Amino acid sequence: MEEHLLIRRCIKGHPDAQKQLYVRYQSRLFGLCLRYARSEAEALDFLQEGFIKIFRDLNRFRGDGPLEAWMCRVVVNTAISKLRRKSWIKEENYDWEAIPSEEPEADPEGLNAEQLIELIRQLPDGFRTVFNLYAVEGYSHKEIARILDIAESTSRSQYLRARRLLQERIRALQQY
């Protein structure tokens, strides 16, 4: 079914159209949720709530860009909203001196996508969220600060610490 027709049928509440939209995009959106979640169960929760919002607000989609991009933004905003409710943006207790700051960057070569996603999922909530928004989604620190209601310097700090921690974990994985 053509996308514009599928959208119209979803807006009218046709269950078959909603199922078709879900089936068409759930895999991509679940992958997106996995980057923000600590577990698959939490990712499924983000996905479910994201689709509820997508179906509820689909009439607001203006078609200025691809539907998938709009849906991704809804799902990311849903994940961030749920994470924010958990008061996730606190400093984690890490021994930052134990993570060498002058070592060469870890090379993710040799890691498959699942391993890399799992390493990102293991980051503390705040680090993981800022890392995804900056490194994966391409937001600026100024935009992240506005989205998460934090200081721009906090966004930068969270990103740098996430990156250092991720590099250390990649190096440790590669030693085995």
- Tell which CATH classification among 1.10.1740.10, 3.10.20.600, 3.40.30.10, 3.40.50.300 matches the domain 3-85: 1.10.1740.10
Instruction: Enumerate the domain spans of the chain.
Output: 3-85, 96-174
Architecture of domain 96-174: Orthogonal Bundle (1.10)
Alpha helices, DSSP H, located in 37-151: 40-57, 67-85, 113-121, 125-131, 141-148
The pLDDT value recorded for residue 77 is 93
With a pLDDT cut of 90, the percent of the chain lying above it is 59
Per-residue pLDDT tens digits for 102-133: 444 555 566 788 888 888 989 998 899 999 99
Q: Mean pLDDT across the chain, nearest whole number?
A: 86
Q: Rounded to two decimals, what is the model's pTM?
A: 0.74
The pLDDT value recorded for residue 92 is 45
Q: For residues 153 and 41, what is the distance between their CA atoms, to the nearest angstrom? A: 32
